[in-house]
Chain A
Amino acid sequence: MSTEPSAAISMPPAVPAADPPWAPRPPFRVPTRPPAALTTHQDCAACADTRSWLLARDRAEATPGRATDATTFGLGWLFRHLRWGPNRWPFAWCDLPDATHVDCGVLACVAALVLAERGLRVERVQLVERAAAEETALWRARWRAARCSDDWLLTDHAVYHEVLLVAGEPGPVLFDPTELRQVGQGRDRPLWMRQWAL
């Protein structure tokens, strides 16, 4: 996968005025790495089988109603097999069938492959989102218990996240495959955002 920063780098406007003035605004380091990418082992039948399974599974789930679903993009079936949680990197396609949990990077890669195969124009998007201290404490403990890197937890109140920008009608949609919903509106407005062409 070639991941180049696209020409258009969107910076969302300032935090909405609705937020209380005492809401924490700690600084965070802007991520410099590209979006996550799954490894494909050379001559690995398992890697190829997994990708084949993924695309066949999506084809098998096709319904007439899916074409108009800009909320979940008909990707609910992914969560019959995958659960959000910590995984170690690097992560290969052949690791997917046995993975107990996968993080937002894996889910974004998988969803991007499936949606691109359907003919949709998809771009990877990196976000920094705000989070509550209780949440980040819980996630940090969970990632550490799984002996996985928690560097995505940028501060106690800001987390790194990966989503997709899907071109559709009437306009592009910022789609979060981890939560199967559109993001970027209202209180979901990210603190920082960068697009990558797929």
Chain B
Amino acid sequence: MSNTPTAVLSGVHSGPDPSPGLGLARSLRLAWPRLRLEALDYSPRSTGLSAAEFDRVHVRPGWHTADPVALCAGLVSIVESAGAVFLPGLDLEAALLAEHGHPALLLPPPAAFDTVARPGAAVAALLGLAVPEHRFTTDVEDAADFAARHGWRVLVKGPRRGTVAVDTRPALAAAITRLRRTWGDAEVLLQRRVDGPTESIVFAALDGDLLGACAMRPTTTTAAGLPWAGSLHPLDSTSGIDDLVRVTRWTGGGEVEIVRETTTGTPHLVAVNPRFPAWIHGATLAGVNLPARLVAAVTGIPPHSREKAHSTGFVRVVEEIPAGPHAIGVTPQARRAFASPDHDPSGMPALSRALATPRPRPGPTELEPPLAQDIPAALVVDPFESPATVFFGGVLDRGLDLLDGVCRDVEDATGVTARFAYPVRVNPDPRVLGAVSRRGAMVEVFSQAEARRSAAAGFPADRVALGGPAKWWRYDGEPVKFGVVTCDSVTDLERTVDLVDRGLVHADVLGLGLDPASRHGVDVTDPRTYRRVADLLRSAQIGRLGLRSPAAGPRLREFTAAITMAADLCARADVRVRCVDLGGGWLPGLDRGDLGGHLVRATRLAVRELGCLDQVLFEPGEFLVGQATAVFSTVLDVRDGPAGRAAVVDAAELPDHATHVLWRGPGGRWLRLPPGDDPVLDRLGADHGTRRTLPDDLDAGDHLLVLPGRGHRVD
């Protein structure tokens, strides 16, 4: 029996997102200087194949050119003929090979792959970690709903590979499309983005027995967030890794990625990788050679060199080495070789697409009852011409009913009167303003012109809240009255106080907008601004002071901070706050309990900091009218091309990323088009991000209703 083992290592590419093969080779070479090492990868572009650490290299056909099962069988044959052990460096390859159950393949059992699959709730429970809020979906609308609930700070992940951080709706739609195209899975995983320092735990195990583990905290990361340098730490006994490997009967290397949320200190599971990480040699240099422990445990051959701690941390360097014979003559690659996962030399996207289950093309579905009733009510007869904007009065009435109920709920729970102010700019349609006015609600206006429009719609002056940076633009100097005037800068406050002092403006409540996160508010976290506002409040004769700070969704934390600062400020200036405006940004689709609960929490926070309040306001704009209008249009053309189908409609402009697209064929009824990748283009050919699965029998002359349709130039 040889006293040095032979190892075959896959995934040896060394680029900005390296595979672990080269690090594994260096670690094993450190333990057995005369060890035989064979590298295996799926493209001659894999740079690690040229490394001097390897005695032999195998360049296998790409996953897109051959049957994955046959490729795996060939790999097993290579390992057997070399009398070697195999350490995987590629996740998806490892999952495929695990089915073989070959003792020379140092892989977790197939069931372990299911356990650690994203989002890894079972693993998190074993390790005592939290899992960030998440949702699996195939629908962009569903994804947008999740993202909006988490303040548009979310990650879009493929079920197996790929992660994209998004913070806008267009970025979300693009990320879903890209992940589908790259990795082949119809479903994506949405996860709340947890901000905080990251940490990784690497471990090795043999048949459920832990051979060792250590933790790494990155000290430098790449632009993509991958570690470039890190410090190594021993693992405390409570990390639960031993439970994880015992329960899953783990064999091979593994990595647990963790992020510790800055605001709460709670550790969250990011991912579990069924292989050693690319930084594995960093652990070896810190005196924990896990690849060697694993190979020694399997082969029974003790390492020739003892583990030695060279440092408590590692750094990466870039090094040029001579290209190997397989890399000579490789044709130049198109630009941005590292920018796309499709250029990954190990071909993981191609393998993922080969493994993905083909999804059936969904057909149109029936409308749910409220919408099915709203459409005939709104389209008693078809619009005189196409395109046209359609108004759903039923949707608006139900929204107003809900808001009335929410106001009562807040008042019952807090004892503070709650009212809402509809922002006119969201949809100034007289039918909307009339409906809001009849309910006795307020309107929020951002200009004198909007104020006049509101007056024409029947709003008395004390139900108009004036705000925004252009509130005094084209003000004619005549005395005016408002219910609330909110100032969003110190100069705005000075000017408004001056107008009030001169008797030109009467405001029941003079408000101060607090919003350090945007330009539409006074930043009292700045010490100079704090002092200026304190001086102004001391000198001005303010009857009733109000504060405005957006509190919707994830902004509750900023709201709390802003109100805390303002409470101290007002106490120092000896001014009492009577009214708090909780702002807008309330999501369409929130139910009465969700919206009311959030408003109650914000109101209680405000009362705790500011004392008794006369009133709280909130500004539901999109929430109220987001689904109350639609664009009625006619299909002009249906195009088939290599990238799929596309419909062109007669509207000059469509809503960006419409939430619903309804279709009606000649003489048929309205049906909902399911999510998909086929674009609906306006008559100028512009793509507004509205993608659906277009039915086979969609034809020119059919009608589409695109929701929501507010304020779009349809003609």
Contact = CB atoms under 8 A, between A and B. Distances in A.
Given A60-B560, A61-B561, A97-B528, A52 B568 contact: yes
Given A59-B564, A60-B561, A60-B565, A65 B262 contact: yes
A63 B263 contact: yes
Given A48-B572, A56-B569, A64 B265 contact: yes
A53 B567 CA distance: 11
Interface in B564-583: 564-565, 567-569, 572
Interface in A36-69: 45-46, 48-50, 52-57, 59-61, 63-65, 68-69
A59 B562 CA distance: 10
Contact of B264 (A59, A64, A98): A64
B605 to A, nearest CB: 12
Contact of A55 (B528, B531, B538, B568): B568
B264 A65 contact: yes
A38 to B, nearest CB: 14
A52 B572 contact: yes
A65 B265 contact: yes
B527 A97 contact: yes
A46 B530 CA distance: 10
B697 interface: no
Interface string B224-262: 000000000000000000000000000000000000011
Nearest to A81: B527
Contacts of B525: 57, 60, 80
B565 A56 contact: yes
Given A48-B572, A60-B560, A60-B562, A53 B527 contact: yes
A96 B527 contact: yes
A68 B528 CA distance: 31
B319 interface: no
B530 A49 contact: yes
Nearest to B567: A56
B526 interface: yes
Residues of A in contact with B, size category:
20 to 34
A47 to B, nearest CB: 10
B348 interface: no
Contacts of A49: 530-531, 534, 572
Given A49-B530, A81-B526, A56 B564 contact: yes
Interface in B558-608: 560-562, 564-565, 567-569, 572
A61 B265 CA distance: 14
Contacts of A64: 263-265
B541 to A, nearest CB: 18
Nearest to B563: A60
Interface string B663-684: 0000000000000000000000
Nearest to B538: A45
A81 B525 CA distance: 9
Nearest to B572: A52
Nearest to B531: A49
A15 to B, nearest CB: 22
Contacts of A54: 527
Contacts of B534: 45, 49
Interface in B534-562: 534-535, 538, 560-562
A9 B567 CA distance: 42
A194 B258 CA distance: 41
Interface in B481-532: 525-528, 530-531
Residue of A49, A54, A59 contacting most chain B CB atoms (<10 Å): A49
A156 B562 CA distance: 46
6 contacts: A53-B527, A53-B530, A56-B568, A65-B261, A65-B264, A65-B265
